[in-house]
Structure formats: structure tokens, C-alpha cells
């Protein structure tokens, strides 16, 4: 263990605040240090023991699925979970606490998990078989304090100065959004999101005396394309396709027909169409049944079941039922939106819809749209002629650490269909093009989701750390 962090390699500070942070870290350097290790053979995945402990309570954060983390507690190193992101251990004998914080070194990231002999093990991985190493100088940061709250602040401050890849909350200006109340469409609408549902959702808040300051239109607005089929025209059959597990990827920046069909000021009319809650709930419920059946089938496959005829029969029946629910279409509603226009307007589509939202619902300052870090859940469609970007389907590769977490149907789909990855050299231009279109429609921001996809697709691009850096850089430049 290194006795101090006096060798910090961050650039010379230009701001007084940063100087104060660095001085604070130096004054506490005797309380922390870095762990590294050496092995004979270089590899893209390396593991090393951190030792054992027992009879000591700990609090930790671990990834129980590819994109979800939660807390975990225990009393010994055998109680640790796979993909532990940090562990705070109580040491009663010295009335102190110790933090184990796995970090990034070079092109490798690290996590902690239980070893085969009851040990705590650090796992370093690059995410590419072409990126290998055999030694690390600072892969885990260790910090000690008699106060667990001070310990967390001190440890992250030290790592912030050492890595110089992120800033602390005290260095940032908080966005005004945190003091505002808003609504995200996901829990209410899921993939069935459409303009009438969004409109009436906002309307319900206002009629209840609650003024929204921001709105997030979540997943389901994009124009997508199946790998083996044409573009989804109305966005509705995407519900059944996603429930079944079929890959659908964005084929253009513009919104799908559910939003594109809108004629300006249609929903401002006194005769604006109502929202059919029952049909939407029925569609969501049936889609959930199909998704659960698909998950059960996948689990059976992983368990070695050969005869899957029962699952296939059930799924075929559910698909027919879901098709029937989708078939009870809102075509009459569509006709009202498209043709019943009591006001003249030059606007249509998403731009007109956002304009009308702000016209009717005063105080709605911001409208955000959902996007995945890679564009959508399955990335971007390589066959989309409207995109002038180098995108291709790359195989998804799960690390052994992540493979030890809970089963997840969405991850299985990623592994089956791969990721439509825009080349990292072009991702900044891709983001800028997408965000420019959204801005032209009156959208003021984006909700970036599905961050985990990058770690699955780094094999040909220098590994997960390098690929993530390129994507985050491009995203930051665009926003």
C-alpha cells in the first residue's frame, strides 16, 4: 500500500477552490493510500485477493443487474456480492471505519467480489481481449476515518484529485431543475407513449392544481427499424416487438408517426380527443405477459431445457392476443388529430406538439426527450439510409463479474442481437445531429439512459473504458 498520495498527477490548479481541495487532500494523505498488484501473465481480466475479514459489519453498494445498483450489508468478506462498487467496513477495535473503493487505472476498471476461499477479491477488466496488462499501481483506494460520513467525503475528494476525471458536488453549480417539479411519462405509459397520452397526463396535473415545470417524454417516441424488417410506421407494433424481444433500432432522428402525425393546435381544440386509459392499460398488461413468458423461456434455455414447445405455444397465443389489442386501434382518434384542426397552423409533428403544450400549460419551461447512450436500447440501425454515420452491429460481451449478477431479460436480448454501435470517432457528430433536430423542435434537453450498453461493446474499440470516454466526450460536447 502506498503511504500517501503526495504524488498526485493532476494539472496545476487555476482556481482557488481547486487549490483548497488539493491542500485538503494533502493534509489527509496519511489516512489513505492505493492498492495495486502484479501478476506474471498479462490478461484482459485479472483478479487478486484483498484478504479476508470477519466479525466486522460492512455497508456496500453493488450492481445486482447490469444497470441497477443497491446497498448490501454483512459481517464478513464472504457476505460480499459480485460487482461491489465500494465497501465501508466498521473496525470496532480501533473505533474506526475503512473504505475500499475500486477505481479506474489506465484502460481497466475494477470491482470487488467474493473469492473462492472466502476472500474479498478485486477484479480488473478492460472489456477487450486485445487490451491486456499484468500490473497495477493504484486500482483500489483505501481510506480510514473515525467518522463514516467524513470518510466518504475525504475518500472521494482524494480520488477526484488523483484521477482528475470528475468533479465534486461542491465544485458544481446545481441546475435549477432540482428545485422544480416535473413528470416523466415512463411509469404511466411505458412504450405506449403517444401524444394524446402525454397531453392528458400533463392536463391531469394542471387540473389537479399542480403546475409542471418540466416534462420528460420517455422511450417510445423514436423512429425505429427491425433488423430484418422495414421501419415501424406507427410505433404501435413496437410494443409487441419489444415484449417479444425483437431488436428495434433508430432509423432516423425524427419522431415516429405517433408524434409526426400531429397537426398544430389540434389538441387546443375544445373537441380534442380523450385518452383511452383502459385500452392503454390492457395493451401494457398483455405486453407484460408476453415479456414474462419470453423471460421464462430464456431462463429455461439457460437451465438446459431442450423441449421449449410449451413456451412457444404460450407465446404464440399471447402474440395473437396482443395483436388483437393493438388492432383495436385509435384510427378514429388519428383521423381527429390529423384532420380536425379548428385553427390554422404551419407547424406539425413534434415541434407543433411541444409548442401547443407550452401554449396550453403555462409554466412548463422544459421538455426533455429520452435517449440511450448508444442511441436506443439496441444502438443505431446500420441500414438506416437517413444516417450519415458509420454504424455496425457488434457482438455484446459480458464480463465474468457481471455474469454473476441477477438474470435480466433485457441483457439477454442485447447479447442475442448485439449493439448497433456508431464509431467512436463519429459519435460527437451523431449526438450533435440528433440534439440539433430535437432543439429545432423546441426540446430543451435529453434524459440519457441505458448507460451500461457501452461496457458490452468495447471489444473492437480499445475496451470499455476507452469507448466510454469517447462517448461521454461526444455527449458533453453536444450538450
- Other CB atoms closer than 10 Å to residue 406's CB: what's the count? 11
Query: DSSP E strands: which ranges in 92-213?
Result: 96-102, 109-114, 120-125, 133-145, 182-184
| Confidence tier at 228 by pLDDT (50, 70, 90) | low
Strand pairing class (32-43; 84-91)? unpaired
More confident residue, 64 or 7: 64
Give tens-digit pLDDT for 391-401.
Answer: 899 999 988 88
Give tens-digit pLDDT for 126-150.
Answer: 999 999 999 999 999 999 999 999 9
Average pLDDT over residues 328-356: 63
C-alpha to C-alpha distance for 225 and 441, rounded to whole angstroms: 22
Can you give the pLDDT at residue 14? 54
Confidence (pTM): 0.87
Whole-number mean pLDDT of the chain? 87
**166 with 112: CB under 8 angstroms?**
no
| Confidence tier at 120 by pLDDT (50, 70, 90) | very high
Query: Which of 386, 363, 360 lies closest to 375, judged by CA?
Result: 386
Q: Which three cell numbers stand for residue 476?
A: 458533453
The answer, yes or no, to whether residue 327 has pLDDT greater than 60, is no
Strand pairing class (248-255; 366-372)? unpaired
Query: Which of 456, 467, 370 lies closest to 417, judged by CA?
Result: 456
C-alpha to C-alpha distance for 153 and 149, rounded to whole angstroms: 7
Would you list the domain boundaries of the chain?
Answer: 16-170, 176-235+245-269+345-478
| Confidence tier at 276 by pLDDT (50, 70, 90) | confident
Can you give the pLDDT at residue 240? 63
What DSSP element (H or E) covers 392?
strand 391-394
**80 with 113: CB under 8 angstroms?**
yes
DSSP secondary structure string, 84-127? EEEEEEEEGGGTEEEEEEE--BTTBEEEEEE-TTS-EEEEEE-S
Can you give the pLDDT at residue 9? 47
C-alpha to C-alpha distance for 147 and 149, rounded to whole angstroms: 6
Amino acid at each position: 500500500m502506498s503511504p500517501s498520495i503526495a504524488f498526485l498527477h493532476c494539472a496545476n490548479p487555476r482556481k482557488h477552490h481547486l487549490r483548497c481541495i488539493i491542500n485538503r487532500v494533502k493534509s489527509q494523505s496519511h489516512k489513505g493510500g492505493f492498492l495495486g498488484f502484479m501478476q506474471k501473465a498479462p490478461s484482459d481480466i485479472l483478479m487478486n485477493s484483498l484478504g479476508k475479514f470477519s466479525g466486522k459489519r460492512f455497508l456496500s453498494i453493488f450492481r445486482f443487474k447490469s444497470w441497477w445498483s443497491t446497498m448490501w450489508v454483512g459481517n464478513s468478506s464472504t457476505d460480499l456480492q459480485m460487482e461491489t462498487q465500494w465497501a465501508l467496513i466498521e473496525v470496532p477495535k480501533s473505533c474506526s471505519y475503512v473504505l475500499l473503493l475500486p477505481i479506474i487505472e489506465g484502460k481497466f476498471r475494477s470491482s470487488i467480489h467474493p473469492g473462492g476461499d472466502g476472500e474479498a477479491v478485486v477484479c480488473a477488466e478492460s472489456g477487450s481481449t486485445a487490451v491486456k496488462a499484468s500490473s497495477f499501481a493504484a486500482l483500489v483506494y483505501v481510506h480510514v476515518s473515525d467518522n463514516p460520513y467524513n470518510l466518504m467525503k475525504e475518500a472521494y475528494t482524494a480520488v477526484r484529485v488523483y484521477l482528475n476525471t470528475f468533479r465534486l458536488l461542491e465544485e458544481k453549480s446545481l441546475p435549477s431543475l432540482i428545485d422544480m417539479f416535473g413528470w416523466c411519462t415512463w411509469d404511466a405509459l411505458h412504450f405506449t407513449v403517444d401524444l394524446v397520452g402525454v397531453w392528458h397526463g400533463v392536463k391531469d396535473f394542471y387540473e389537479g392544481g399542480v403546475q409542471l415545470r418540466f416534462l420528460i417524454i420517455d422511450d417510445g417516441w423514436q423512429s425505429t427499424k427491425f433488423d430484418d424488417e422495414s421501419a415501424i410506421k406507427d410505433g404501435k407494433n413496437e410494443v409487441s416487438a419489444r415484449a417479444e424481444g425483437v431488436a428495434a433500432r433508430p432509423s432516423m432522428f425524427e419522431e415516429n408517426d405517433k408524434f409526426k402525425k400531429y397537426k398544430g393546435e389540434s389538441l387546443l381544440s375544445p373537441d380534442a380527443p380523450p385518452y383511452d386509459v383502459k385500452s392503454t392499460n390492457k395493451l401494457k398488461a398483455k405486453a407484460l405477459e408476453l415479456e414474462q413468458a419470453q423471460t421464462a423461456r430464456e431462463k429455461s434455455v439457460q437451465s438446459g431445457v431442450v423441449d421449449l414447445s410449451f413456451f412457444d405455444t404460450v407465446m404464440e397465443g399471447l402474440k395473437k392476443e396482443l395483436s388483437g389489442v393493438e388492432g383495436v386501434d385509435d384510427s378514429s382518434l388519428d383521423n381527429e388529430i390529423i384532420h380536425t384542426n379548428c385553427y390554422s397552423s404551419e407547424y406539425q409533428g413534434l415541434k407543433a406538439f411541444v409548442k401547443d403544450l407550452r401554449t396550453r400549460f403555462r409554466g412548463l419551461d422544459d421538455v426533455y426527450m429520452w435517449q440511450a447512450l448508444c442511441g436506443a436500447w439496441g444502438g443505431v440501425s446500420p441500414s438506416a439510409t437517413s444516417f450519415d454515420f458509420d454504424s455496425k452491429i457488434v457482438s455484446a460481451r459480458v464480463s465474468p463479474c457481471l455474469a454473476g449478477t441477477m438474470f435480466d431479460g433485457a441483457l439477454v436480448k442485447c447479447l442475442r442481437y448485439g449493439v448497433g454501435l456508431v464509431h467512436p470517432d463519429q459519435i460527437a457528430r451523431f449526438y450533435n445531429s440528433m440534439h440539433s433536430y430535437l432543439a429545432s423542435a423546441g426540446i430543451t434537453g435529453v434524459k440519457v439512459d441505458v448507460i451500461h450498453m457501452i461496457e458490452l461493446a468495447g471489444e473492437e474499440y480499445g475496451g470499455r473504458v476507452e469507448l466510454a470516454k469517447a462517448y461521454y466526450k461526444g455527449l458533453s460536447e453536444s450538450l
